[in-house]
Amino acid sequence: MLNMHIGILIYGVGHHLAAWKAHDSQIHRLGDISYYQSLAQTCERGKFDMIFFADNQAFNATHENVMPAMWLDPIVKLSAISQVTNNVGLVCTISGTFMNPYHVARQIQSLQHISKGRMGWNLVTSMTDEEAKNHSMEYLPAHAQRYEKAREFGTIIDKLFESWDEKEGRKNKIKVLPGLVTYVAETEEEAYAKKQALDNMLDIVSSLKMLEFFIHQDTSGWDLDAKVPDLPPLASFTGAKGRYETVLEIIKDKDPTVRELLGYLAAGGGHLTLIGTPEMIVDELEKWLKEGVADGFNFMPPTLPNSLDDFVELIIPELQSRALFREDYHTFTLREHLEI
């Protein structure tokens, strides 16, 4: 039996730029911990391996009026969620650029004990000068400097974990879970209609502003219905290279117009996007799993809670019917869920 792993990146009211306008938007509850607890309980009902919260050390003006997100501290948020769940793993982002290793190790181990072994963490190097200014820096350190510090940061955390008899920081097999965006319905037409309804609510000006943040280009003279102009090669780009590379790959594979590119980036920023019936979507997920491309997927719901409900009620049962995903939890810790 192939054992697919499913996580979820919970972001505000959803990853689509127009999610806050959706009929089921819970935007008024972004500061209410019961909102996140309810989402986590839905994930546990769907037998997810883990839930994941990203973090940002500043409010990004690029997302203003586009992707509202109340940045409650993820460790605090996960601590509260741990008290209303029993099995689902709890993962959050921590910046190695700004944080102190001992303080972080203490936080992680505290939640590890509180959750009875369900804690995980995602080490990042941060992206913007706005974040740096909130930590008494004028500018974000250079890319190479940040990643060198992150390697040192991770090593220190590992050593702190290993100072206990049980080596919580030991390295084992890596699991690859790429991002996944789905629009699912009983018919393909209904699924495409869901995406189109959200795309129709996109604010083009704000979407272009976000694209400029990704590619460091002035788009003011671009024709929305013309092909995307040539962009500089990845090697010469000095911003966030991973996101820029994704944009370049979309342009290479899809040859989109500017308007189409905005649609591709609207939810999930270019991650794998599948639209269709449960059978169609699971066909593709099964192909990725069997060909060894991925060990599972990190779901990025376009809207919350509706897209999550659709995933749990339509896609999870199809995965289970093909013996690709657990029907119940038989493990207790995040490490056991992920088989590492």
Binding residue ranges: 55, 93, 143, 147
Please give the helix or strand (H or E) that residue 123 lies within, else none. strand 119-124
Helix (H, G, I), strand (E, B) or coil at 134: coil
- Pair of tokens at residue 115: 């959750």
- Pair of tokens at residue 64: 């203003």
End-to-end Cα, the chain, rounded Å: 17
Give the Cα separation of 31 and 3 in Å (integer).
35
| Nearest of 304, 218, 211 to residue 261 by alpha carbon | 211
Give the Cα separation of 149 and 171 in Å (integer).
19
Q: How many residues does the chain have?
A: 340
Give the Cα separation of 311 and 308 in Å (integer).
5
Binding-site residues for FMN, please? 55, 93, 143, 147
